Structure 1
Amino acid sequence: MARIRAHRNNRYATTFNKSLVALTILSALHGANAQEQDDQEKAASNEEEVVEKIEVKGIRGNLLNAQNLKRYSDTVVDAITADDIGTLPDRSVLEAIQRLPGVSIERFAGPDDPDHFSVEGSGAIIRGMTQTRSEFNGRDSFTANSGRGLSFQDVSPELMGGVDIYKNQTADMIEGGIGGTVSLRTRKPFDSEGRVIAFGGDYSYGDVAEKGSPTFSGLYSDRIDLAEKGEIGFLVNYANSQLYGESHGIQSDAYVQTYARDIAGAEAFTGADNNGTVWMPNASNLLKKFDDRKREGFASTLQWENEDETLLATMQYIRSDASLSWHEQAVKYQGGYYNLDNRRTRALEGTEFEFDDDGLFGSGTMVQGVDGWRAADGNNDRVIRSWESGGRPQFGYPYQFDSRVKQTDTLVEDLSFNLEWMATDALELEADVQYIKAKTRDDDVVLHTAAFAGQTYDVTGSTPTMTLIEPYFGYRDANPDVYAEGNYPGFTGDPAGDSNYFQDPTSYFLRSAMDHWERSEGDSFATRLDATYHLDSDGIFTSVQSGVRYAKREQTVRSTSYNWGALGPEFSSAAPAGWLDTIPVDASNFELVDWSDFHGGGIADIPGNQTIHATEAYVRSIIAGARPYMTGGGTWEPYPDRPGVDDKYGIFTPGEVNLTTEENKAIYLRVNFEGTGDLRYSGNIGLRYVQLDRQADGAVTFPDLVPDFMPPEALQGAPLTAEIVTNWLNEQINAGNYADLEEALEAEENRWIGDQRNYLSNAERNFGNDAEERLSAETDFDMLLPSFNLKIEVADDLITRFAFSKAVALPDMSDIRNRAT
């Protein structure tokens, strides 16, 4: 037979104060004593007594429990509870807590990444502040990345017994949350009266992704009465879920200030001095992202309590294994960014831009109005010069067509042991030990195809709209004879002309690639000892709490920067662009991406509705070790291909590996008080002292000023000058090695001429030798954190609170890495 536990140290225990309700209850108890004998006789005469029990469960029951938690808490708290498996009302912890007042969540992948939506949110914001702390069952928890807290999207909500949001501090709480603390509570066997067996499942379908996925979970919990040896309880909880999502985004390129005098439609803003300005973007971008989130959670708990309920031991193991894989396809402007007086973007000839009364761009067709799109060396021979036959004074900008794959895997394991001892009727002792181990793996690679295009962009409606236009803006189709000769694959002899420009492989070149990698791990050991002494006095002070805590955390962050490099760019003087129909890459590595359903239609207008991108499989093959084709103008060196990388992963140089060790020592004192007069009140006042010692190991990385292309041996040893290079070129032409200056400059063996690092002084190049030097730094600091919390019961159904505390938010691990470049 299971026993109902009622510890006096239950933080949320309901207490009765002197009120009309309390007095009524006391009167009823007094009357019960007088009738006790009669009741016993009646009970003996009845062989069986039927008791009807009404129990509120599900979401409504959870709301009632959460209300009690909020009412009887020691500080300002909002809570969500889930006594029954699967009754948290949302599919993620973050989506659940955003229902609470003062709590919002980050909808993007991160606060510094507005380009990508998150399938389930990425962080909690409490009272407008992102400096929040996360914990499991009152203990620290973290994900092993450049941050400090837990990635909530990696936690299965089915494992949770509830989530508490603390909006102020008490002295016994672990420091770290200025905005607040998000405390995740898992279930324990002694939370239930007896055996519990539960299974749950659901099926989620994404109407945009047009894919569905299941979620299932199970729980087994039981309590066994050991008679004089006490009671034991155990719980096992497992959850497995997968979620598909698709997000569409249209974004303005950066709005920049430019003189109005050169902009058609901006005449009203030129000003008396002809120096008036307007604000406008160069273009807009389209993004589609496909998410595949998998999450597996496991929690187990073993509890034991002695017969007289003075000793309670709890051991817990929590494991969260999550992965998020996403594939992004995007259309992005790549025409460059310009200063106030050298802007290239112009309105299409015969049109003008629309601005609002403040000079902000509203709509218009954007083109490039100068020759910047045309390399002077002739390598981009599929893009005609403005001065050639059929040349145009306006042309489209380069646009890149992304195919990006990001695979993130996280693992968090949490093992803890807690012992509560009621040493005397007045003294409670509690000891706690915890060990956390966390790992993170992140692979991120993107390939960019590219083509030239213009666009019409309109932000005046409720949702921006964009129309992509082939770069000749119909001129080539209207004058085909002008282009009868020359190297114009995909147009010359093609009856479709430019109507299929964005579906024609000859319009595209393989422009560039980018990679980023992370392999991080961390572990933490923490222990604490707390004591509570209950005061038997008629004063306002009810108890005194004190405790000490020690924690040591080691975290190794191996993380590269984002490494962009050219593959076959249009701007190289060393080789022609890597046109898709000329490079030795199988056509199956590229695909047509359909934009007709973007935002449900009516937002993106692309002739033919399709653009050409690298396939997801092609990008994943590069993550696995394959390498894309590069022309003579290619410069991309994937991080794993660099010399001097680590032996364990073969990716990171010493300067990209940072070890941070933190030791945290804390002691606190807290005094609780209450008054039961006409105005009932309760609260606490406390002081927490924290000492933090930190050691950060890293490296200083000197700049890479070593030339990629060395000059002939006769010119080495001293910095190059224009005079030295000119004399050398003239000598080569006079010797008959080159027909003229243009041939000499375009020769692949003379790429050293365009390498600006050859013109640096010897001192500058000796400093910028791309070397790395290991560093180690130690810091320590301490702080006093006072806190005060007051609750006043104005009426039986009305409570007001006042809270004050000094809090601290520790910087992310990425901000304290010992690294300099």
Structure 2
Amino acid sequence: MAVLCGLSLNVQAAEENKDNKNEEKDTTEVIEVTGYKGSVLKSMFEKRNAGNISDSIFAEDIGKSTDQNIADALSRVTGISVQSTDGEGARITVRGANPDQNMITLNGVQLTSSDFNQAVDLSAYSADILSHINVVKTASADHDEGSLGASVQLHTSKPLNLKNDVKSLTLQGRYNDFSEKSDYKLAGSYSEKFFDDSFGVLFTAYKETNSVRRDEFKVNNFEARNLAVASTTDGRTITDRRVLTAKDFEYALYTNERNRHGGTLTLQFLPTDDTDVALDFTYSKQDLVDTNHSVTIRTRPDLPNFIEGQVAPSSTRPWNWPADVDFIPEFSDPQADWFVVDEASNTLVKSVSRFADGGFQRRNGGNSTENKVANLNIKHQITDDFKVEFGANYSNTVRDPGEGTVQMNLLNNTMNVGLKALAGPYGQPHTGIQPAGFDCTTGICEMVFGDGVVSLNDPENISDNRGYSAFSPDDIKAQTINWMALTEQAVEDELSTYRLDFDLDIDVLGFTKIEFGGKYSERSKYVDDQNRQFRNTKVPVQVIAYDEDGTPTGVKAILAGSGIGSITADNFASDEAFPVDNFMEDLGFARNNITDGWTMVDDEKFLALAYANEDYELETNRLNTRSADLTTAAGYFKMSFAYLDDSLTGDFGIRYIKDTVDVLGYSGAEFTETVAQRAIYDPFMWRQLRNPQLDSCEFDNALAPDDNPYFNRIDGYGWDTSGTPNDTSDDVRIPADPAGYPCYDKYTEQGSERSGWWWNQRHVDRSTLKNDVFTGNAVKGENRSLRVFETTGDNEYDMWLPSLNLNYIISEDMIGRFAISKTMSRPNIDSLKPGFFMRESFWGDPSTPRGSSIRLDNPKLLPQESINYDLSWEWYFNKGSMVSVALFYKDMTNFEEEEQQIVYADDLRSKDLSNYSADQLFKTEEQLRDAFANDETGTGFGICMPKRGNINDVAADWWYDDSDLLNYCATFAATTKRNGAGAEIAGIELTYNQSYDFLPGIWGGLGSSFNYTYQDSKTIPGDSNLIAGKALESLPRTWVPQHSYNATVYWEQNGHQVRLAYRGKSDELIDPYFSYGSRWNEGSDNLDLSIGYKVSDAVSVSFQAINLTDESQRVYWTNRDLGIEPELNDAGEPITNKYIPLNEGNALDGDAPTSRTQILRKNGRTFRLDLRVNF
């Protein structure tokens, strides 16, 4: 492992004279901080003398420990849990308050965020710039508002407050045994005093690199499906069962880089004995390189396996089967072997199908985040008793997507459904089907796949392809692009604050100080979250050509403007070898043709081929752009007191805040689209087309006058392209059918000789086409799939925040504390977006929303409020030891929460949305049934947003079942932001620290630190904002484990040290609304080791090992909305596509199954070696 260079600010934090106004106290004891033991002692001293319940971390806790990341260091504090990205701490939750609900400041400056909301990514800052961190858990009136859990205060050093000038250098080498890559950190600091110690300069700089490897198993979606026959895990055969199942499985390899550089500059000037001027500048930049290779298998439950003697749906017929003849398989696929159900959890643990498919993904790109923080602070002692302090603060964060991140999703499209239907029975030599899917029966979810290679024969003619593997990972020729997009996420967050504070020392009736002041701030945030799709080539493309036997013969041309899926992946295969030789092995997955790697694709090669590296001319979706401006004015009054010979001290006060909010965004709808837009159908229109009571269509030849059935519309919008589809000059409009439209078309009847999507393309719903060639010309049409209009919103609110803190010295070594306060945190900025966003999708189980969603944000959200009660007891039983117990309870109101319900929606396809209100958007079942009953036309047109059909739907039974027209209405997973009825969080924090310096000899260097936090959080259920009268369920707060704990055992003597640190937490809710259910983090444990050796007073060496036990992380899923048992009508009969939701409840209560793994990931172990030199 190479030892590489770095710089670190090894500031002796205890040498600083504390000057933070929120922490002022009479410090009579001088503590010299040396080493980790000294930093623990300093933290205890800080806690003992604080006016609030608080915890602190000092430089040694970060500098020479494994926690060189700020978030990871904070995770050692009671009540704090950390969220990690790529194995590194990023965001924190404090006492049940999530990362958006806690204010983090640097030298008193509130940090802005690269997130869409307020959560600060602490991984963007190096811990090397810090001298200490305070976590203040109870509020006083002079504290900045905005934190529900705690105020996290990061501090750099002040040069004139240092006893000695600092000149230090750190060289650090890093190695991760999983990525097998070396990295480094270079860091250093310099401080000096001038002009008789009246002017000082402190400068710290750093540069560090981090290479990340992450292997990950992931389920992207869950659904419910019906099984005709299956086996159970104990070997029994079951029939007619509906179960929960993963829809697709993904294995992913991430090889990311997270590189940082930056620094801080502090100038401090004492122009007089009574004036202190400090100017701080902090800059950081983090560059993220995002590289991903993954493989996915889709189980395709919409395409049923063969059953002997049973008519197969038209969507699963062999490609060469006559359209007017039913296809009846002569054999059955062994579904009892291919499907295995765990009855205890109603879960399909093995799913194999002849019609499953699979493909590869490649993501390549990244972004950079720049943070700029500036602070001017002027203190002036007007008299001995009266002080004034002025601050001007600025914070700015910019997330720059650079050239964006390209994501390619491929599928084995040349091995199409029609070819799989031609394959013989499973097990038949050479020509039998090789199915694909997954098998989790052993506890590890292995992918199932084949090893055959598709024969393209004449690539100009897909119908002569031959193949027998549902998916083969070694068959690059079978892969084409299914979806490709350029993601560009730009964020700018800017905050300016001005404050003025006055302190007056008094001695009146036990009151010792009066403090008052105010602040004014302006914050603006801009978010542009684009995901722009590539669709058609821009230049002619030369690809490999084959003869009728599949032998390469040269190249052939694909015309400019062709779909990007027309180019097989062998034309843009990467020249690189698969990056690792043990993919997924450490997660317990078997070695096979997937885990040994595959032929990767190269996005840059494809873009050069299809776009000649010219402007891609991709469309921008304004629905993903928004901005917010927030203005705050605040003032406070606070009084401190001391009674009983200073045994009882404390403060009380009140703070007033007033906020104004102005937001700008866009509302609208993004309708579904398909490749070439040749298969999207309206069930209400199809119902009329198969109505024999209408006049029969006179134009009954789907292939006339154009040989492309898509253009042969009979509603008056068709085109006769005269045999020249790329030349519009000779196009002739096809008149409407003389019978009128809709008319009775016998080919729309179920089971007709020309039923199905292909023959009925002339009935495609043209209302929302991506390329509506029927309104304009037959080549370049109008984009009708996106409807957008600008929306604005505003809000204004004010609030009074009282607080009381009491500290009582029970004895010389014991302190009791009590605090009561009202605190607030502002709504998530991104939740304040105005308007709504409807997104339609039409793939998947028709009994579910199938990915269709509606998002409603809320500019009128109010701040989240909390009444806080805190009680603590601290016993400092010797100079280096303490025990503390802290109880806390938070009664929260107006708690921001997300609600999700399955709803029906208004039909927006032909509406003028310019003045459309979201209040009109949702339709209840009662409203729809009443509308159908009173529909004089009997068509159902326009009553609801229809559940539009894809190529498989128009062959399904439900498409032809009009016994209940509500089944033709689409459902949406609607999400809204609201101020909930409230939430409660109660907890206890236990801490034990002791230095065993009373032991003899070498044993006197031993010490330990233990802490434990218990938190019980729950929302107070209210009524739904989306479905009148529906009661919501109570859930725990996100990112709040019930149990979290730390244990550190250390030895330190003569500058040498060894420390073993353990950290753990129990399960926690992380996403209450994921794929019709919830996601939960499984509890995790980490063990770290650090060793330090003092070579001399100026030189030291240290070694750190992170995640010694090489732990992985797991996320699991529980169900809420997917149904297993059918709903029954009044006659006791099952209602088509209606199921009773199986809500499995709260996983933390132990009732819900935790076996359905959604994510399993591993980052490996990291080792560091430091050389530190003080000059």
TM range (shorter): 0.7 to 0.9
Code of the residue aligned with 1:458 in structure 2: it is C
Question: Are 2:407 and 1:446 equivalent residues in the alignment?
Answer: yes
Shift, 1:311, TM fit: 1.2
Shift, 1:642, TM fit: 3.9
- Identify if the C-alpha distance between structure 1 residues 299 and 10 changes in structure 2 by more than 3 Å, giving closer, same or farther: same
Question: Are 2:320 and 1:361 equivalent residues in the alignment?
Answer: no
* Of 627, 633, 643, the match for 1:675: 643
- Identify if the C-alpha distance between structure 1 residues 606 and 803 changes in structure 2 by more than 3 Å, giving closer, same or farther: farther
- Alpha-carbon distance in 2 for matches of 1:170, 1:232: 33
Q: How does 1:327-366 map to 2 (within 5 A)?
A: 327-335=291-299, 349=335, 351=337, 355-356=341-342, 358-361=344-347, 363-364=349-350, 366=351
- Alpha-carbon distance in 1 for matches of 2:301, 2:95: 37
* Of 771, 794, 799, the match for 2:810: 794
- Alpha-carbon distance in 2 for matches of 1:5, 1:211: 39
- Identify if the C-alpha distance between structure 1 residues 262 and 802 changes in structure 2 by more than 3 Å, giving closer, same or farther: farther
User: Could you list the runs of 5+ residues in structure 2 that have no partner in the other structure?
Assistant: 1-14, 305-311, 317-331, 416-434, 456-461, 542-560, 679-684, 714-720, 727-757, 776-780, 838-1175
Once the two structures are superposed, what CA deviation does each residue of 1:263-300 show, in whole Å capped at 9, x if it has no partner?
322899999xx876543334532122112011012100
* Of 205, 222, 231, the match for 2:175: 205
* Of 409, 414, 431, the match for 2:390: 431
More helix by share: 1
- Alpha-carbon distance in 2 for matches of 1:639, 1:584: 24
- Identify if the C-alpha distance between structure 1 residues 133 and 742 changes in structure 2 by more than 3 Å, giving closer, same or farther: closer
Shift, 1:766, TM fit: 12
- Identify if the C-alpha distance between structure 1 residues 163 and 56 changes in structure 2 by more than 3 Å, giving closer, same or farther: closer
Query: What is the match of residue 45 of structure 2?
Result: 68
Query: What is the match of residue 505 of structure 1?
Result: 476
Q: How does 1:322-721 map to 2 (within 5 A)?
A: 322-335=286-299, 349=335, 351=337, 355-356=341-342, 358-361=344-347, 363-364=349-350, 366-368=351-353, 395-442=354-401, 443-451=404-412, 454-458=436-440, 461=443, 464-470=444-450, 487=464, 501-537=472-508, 539-561=509-531, 578=565, 582=568, 585-588=571-574, 592=578, 596-600=582-586, 602-607=588-593, 609-612=595-598, 614-615=600-601, 618-619=602-603, 626=608, 628=610, 641-642=617-618, 652=620, 655-677=623-645, 680-701=647-668, 703=670
Query: What is the match of residue 269 of structure 2?
Result: 304
SS of alignment partner, residue 546 of structure 1: strand
- Alpha-carbon distance in 1 for matches of 2:663, 2:530: 17
- Identify if the C-alpha distance between structure 1 residues 721 and 551 changes in structure 2 by more than 3 Å, giving closer, same or farther: same
- Alpha-carbon distance in 2 for matches of 1:161, 1:10: 17
- Alpha-carbon distance in 2 for matches of 1:197, 1:182: 28
Code of the residue aligned with 1:781 in structure 2: it is Y
- Alpha-carbon distance in 2 for matches of 1:640, 1:183: 46
Once the two structures are superposed, what CA deviation does each residue of 1:236-275 show, in whole Å capped at 9, x if it has no partner?
110111111111122345444445663322899999xx87
Q: How does 1:148-167 map to 2 (within 5 A)?
A: 148-167=118-137
Shift, 1:58, TM fit: 2.7
Code of the residue aligned with 2:379 in structure 1: it is E
Whether the aligned pair in 1 keeps the contact of 2:711 and 2:762 (CA below 8 Å) is no
Structural RMSD (CA): 4.8
SS of alignment partner, residue 473 of structure 2: helix
SS of alignment partner, residue 40 of structure 2: helix
SS of alignment partner, residue 824 of structure 2: coil
Shift, 1:128, TM fit: 3.0
Code of the residue aligned with 2:398 in structure 1: it is K
- Alpha-carbon distance in 2 for matches of 1:224, 1:140: 30
- Alpha-carbon distance in 2 for matches of 1:753, 1:639: 34
Question: Are 2:278 and 1:314 equivalent residues in the alignment?
Answer: yes
Shift, 1:142, TM fit: 0.6
SS of alignment partner, residue 46 of structure 2: helix
- Identify if the C-alpha distance between structure 1 residues 626 and 64 changes in structure 2 by more than 3 Å, giving closer, same or farther: farther
Q: TM-score, normalised by structure 1?
A: 0.72
Question: Are 2:92 and 1:124 equivalent residues in the alignment?
Answer: yes
Query: What is the match of residue 953 of structure 2?
Result: none
- Alpha-carbon distance in 2 for matches of 1:339, 1:690: 59
Query: What is the match of residue 285 of structure 1?
Result: 250
Whether the aligned pair in 2 keeps the contact of 1:664 and 1:693 (CA below 8 Å) is yes
SS of alignment partner, residue 494 of structure 2: strand
- Alpha-carbon distance in 2 for matches of 1:564, 1:68: 60
Code of the residue aligned with 1:86 in structure 2: it is G
Code of the residue aligned with 1:666 in structure 2: it is A
- Alpha-carbon distance in 1 for matches of 2:70, 2:19: 30
SS of alignment partner, residue 603 of structure 1: coil
Once the two structures are superposed, what CA deviation does each residue of 1:619-649 show, in whole Å capped at 9, x if it has no partner?
3577xx757589xxxxxxx996246xxxxxx
Query: What is the match of residue 37 of structure 1?
Result: none
User: Could you list the runs of 5+ residues in structure 1 that have no partner in the other structure?
Assistant: 23-52, 110-117, 369-394, 478-484, 492-496, 569-573, 631-637, 644-651, 712-717
- Identify if the C-alpha distance between structure 1 residues 459 and 210 changes in structure 2 by more than 3 Å, giving closer, same or farther: farther
Query: What is the match of residue 45 of structure 1?
Result: none
- Identify if the C-alpha distance between structure 1 residues 88 and 660 changes in structure 2 by more than 3 Å, giving closer, same or farther: farther
- Aligned pairs, how many? 689
Query: Kindly, what percent of the aligned residue pairs are identical?
Result: 18
Query: What is the match of residue 633 of structure 1?
Result: none
Q: TM-score, normalised by structure 2?
A: 0.52
Query: What is the match of residue 634 of structure 1?
Result: none
Shift, 1:446, TM fit: 0.9
Query: What is the match of residue 75 of structure 2?
Result: 98
- Identify if the C-alpha distance between structure 1 residues 180 and 588 changes in structure 2 by more than 3 Å, giving closer, same or farther: same
* Of 790, 801, 816, the match for 1:785: 801
Shift, 1:564, TM fit: 8.4
- Alpha-carbon distance in 2 for matches of 1:424, 1:265: 84
Code of the residue aligned with 2:270 in structure 1: it is E
Whether the aligned pair in 2 keeps the contact of 1:465 and 1:602 (CA below 8 Å) is no
Name whichever of 260-269 and 430-439 sits farther off. Answer: 260-269
- Identify if the C-alpha distance between structure 1 residues 352 and 339 changes in structure 2 by more than 3 Å, giving closer, same or farther: closer
- Identify if the C-alpha distance between structure 1 residues 682 and 642 changes in structure 2 by more than 3 Å, giving closer, same or farther: same
Whether the aligned pair in 1 keeps the contact of 2:115 and 2:121 (CA below 8 Å) is no
Code of the residue aligned with 1:468 in structure 2: it is V
Shift, 1:315, TM fit: 0.6
- Alpha-carbon distance in 1 for matches of 2:611, 2:767: 27
Whether the aligned pair in 1 keeps the contact of 2:232 and 2:342 (CA below 8 Å) is no
Shift, 1:155, TM fit: 0.5
Code of the residue aligned with 2:448 in structure 1: it is L
Code of the residue aligned with 2:207 in structure 1: it is N
Query: What is the match of residue 1024 of structure 2?
Result: none
- Alpha-carbon distance in 2 for matches of 1:6, 1:787: 27
Shift, 1:407, TM fit: 0.6
- Identify if the C-alpha distance between structure 1 residues 317 and 727 changes in structure 2 by more than 3 Å, giving closer, same or farther: farther
SS of alignment partner, residue 90 of structure 2: coil
